[in-house]
């Protein structure tokens, strides 16, 4: 997998899957722009990459703000000359797990803003740059919840189905421009986001593990491996696809 000197932006890279992905890109010699709404966490990921001998910088970005996304990408291009890979990973879950009739307006607006509109903004600006430079690669972090029904989770489900749809539709548009666009669909994966779900009920962890044929949660670095593969030339005939990493849950 050759990612040496590729200029890569990862959103939401201050923790979980984004942080693991940033570190794996760093190990492969990429120039990693670690972006997160929480600057301290982004700085922490970037300094771990640098301490391990890699190249990284941290830039604070809230993906719900179109101007901030524009600034992230233009600053990256001004510094490094191009944008080879954009990993749209930033995401949140709803605060409350409630059926659709009780789903709160707050959860709806917040989750859609980050998970759906944020991915649209990042794809829109990244694709302008990638079209201008004549190549590019986008990996979106969707979810198993973007492929299968999931209860008490309407905004998250809507946003992740949207990410899968945006991935496929944009891949169709940009295939001839040497720009590939794919998505990963993780199942339950150890992270702050999963911990928030597990905290919602004392029995939920056991119930979820019962649904996973492999009997365990995924690890962030297992998802990172697939993201790096999609971002590399090792997958050079793959576009508009989703890779499900769920320990067999979808079976």
Q: What's the chain's Rg over C-alpha atoms?
A: 17
CB 145 within 8 Å of CB 162: no
Provide the token pair at 53: 């001998």
The three-point CA angle 26-246-200 to 5° equals: 100
* Contact flag: residue 174 with ligand NAD (CB under 6 A): no
Please select the residue that binds ligand NAD; options are 54, 94, 186, 240, rule is CB under 6 A.
186
The 46-75 contact track toward ligand NAD, x by CB under 6 A, reads ---------------xxxx-----------
* Contact flag: residue 227 with ligand NAD (CB under 6 A): no
Question: Does the annotation mark 156 as catalytic?
Answer: yes
* Contact flag: residue 15 with ligand NAD (CB under 6 A): yes
* Smallest gap from residue 197 Cβ to ligand NAD (A): 8
Residue in this structure with the two tokens 């890979």, named with its chain if needed? 85
| Residue (175 or 248) nearer to ligand NAD, CB | 248
- In DSSP terms, 55 is beta-bridged to 31
* Contact flag: residue 37 with ligand NAD (CB under 6 A): yes
User: What residues numbered 80-99 form the site for ligand NAD, per CB under 6 A?
Assistant: 89-92
Query: 103 by DSSP, 3-state: which?
Result: coil
Of the candidates 114, 58, 112, 56, which has an alpha carbon nearest to the alpha carbon of residue 88? 114
Of the candidates 46, 90, 41, which has an alpha carbon nearest to the alpha carbon of residue 68? 90
Please select the residue that binds ligand NAD; options are 3, 6, 9, 16, rule is CB under 6 A.
16
| Other Cβ atoms closer than 10 A to 8 | 29
Angle between helices 220-231 and 16-27 (to 10 degrees): 50
Q: Left if phi > 0, otherwise alpha if psi is -120 to 50, otherwise beta: which for 140? A: beta
Measured in whole angstroms, the distance separating CA 156 from the mean position of its chain's CA atoms is: 14
Please work out the total of residues on this chain that contact ligand NAD, with binding judged by CB under 6 A: 30
- Residue 185 is inside which H or E element, if any? strand 179-186
Concatenating the DSSP letter of every residue in 205-235 gives HHHHHHT-TTSS-B-HHHHHHHHHHHHSGGG
| Residue (12 or 240) nearer to ligand NAD, CB | 12
Please select the residue that binds ligand NAD; options are 137, 143, 155, 249, rule is CB under 6 A.
143
User: What residues numbered 191-220 form the site for ligand NAD, per CB under 6 A?
Assistant: 191-194
Please select the residue that binds ligand NAD; options are 188, 228, 230, 247, rule is CB under 6 A.
188
The 102-141 contact track toward ligand NAD, x by CB under 6 A, reads ------------x---x----------------------x
* Smallest gap from residue 126 Cβ to ligand NAD (A): 15
Angle between helices 39-51 and 16-27 (to 10 degrees): 30
* Smallest gap from residue 11 Cβ to ligand NAD (A): 5
Binding footprint of ligand NAD on the chain (CB under 6 A): 11-12, 14-18, 36-38, 41, 61-64, 89-92, 114, 118, 141, 143, 186, 188-189, 191-194
Which residues participate in catalysis according to the annotation? 156
């Amino acid at each position: 997998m050759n990612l040496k000197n590729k200029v890569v932006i990862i959103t939401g890279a201050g923790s979980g899957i984004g942080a693991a992905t940033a570190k794996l890109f760093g190990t492969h010699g990429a120039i990693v722009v670690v972006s997160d709404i929480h600057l301290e966490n982004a700085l922490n990921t970037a300094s771990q990459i640098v301490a391990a001998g890699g190249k990284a910088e941290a830039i604070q970005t809230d993906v719900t703000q179109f101007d901030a996304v524009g600034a992230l990408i233009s600053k990256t291009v001004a510094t490094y000359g191009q944008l080879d890979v954009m990993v749209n990973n930033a995401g949140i879950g709803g605060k409350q797990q409630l059926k659709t009739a009780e789903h709160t307006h707050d959860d709806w607006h917040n989750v859609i803003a980050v998970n759906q509109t944020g991915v649209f903004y990042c794809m829109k600006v990244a694709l302008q740059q990638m079209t201008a430079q004549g190549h590019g690669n986008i990996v979106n972090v969707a979810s198993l919840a973007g492929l299968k029904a999931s209860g008490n989770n309407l905004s998250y489900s809507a946003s992740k189905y949207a990410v899968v749809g945006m991935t496929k539709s944009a891949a169709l548009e940009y295939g001839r421009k040497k720009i590939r666009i794919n998505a990963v669909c993780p199942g339950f994966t150890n992270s702050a986001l999963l911990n928030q779900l597990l905290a919602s009920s004392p029995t939920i962890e056991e119930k979820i593990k019962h649904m996973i044929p492999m009997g365990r949660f995924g690890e962030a670095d297992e998802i990172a491996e697939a993201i790096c593969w999609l971002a590399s030339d090792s997958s050079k005939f793959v576009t508009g696809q989703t890779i499900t990493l769920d320990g067999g849950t979808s079976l």
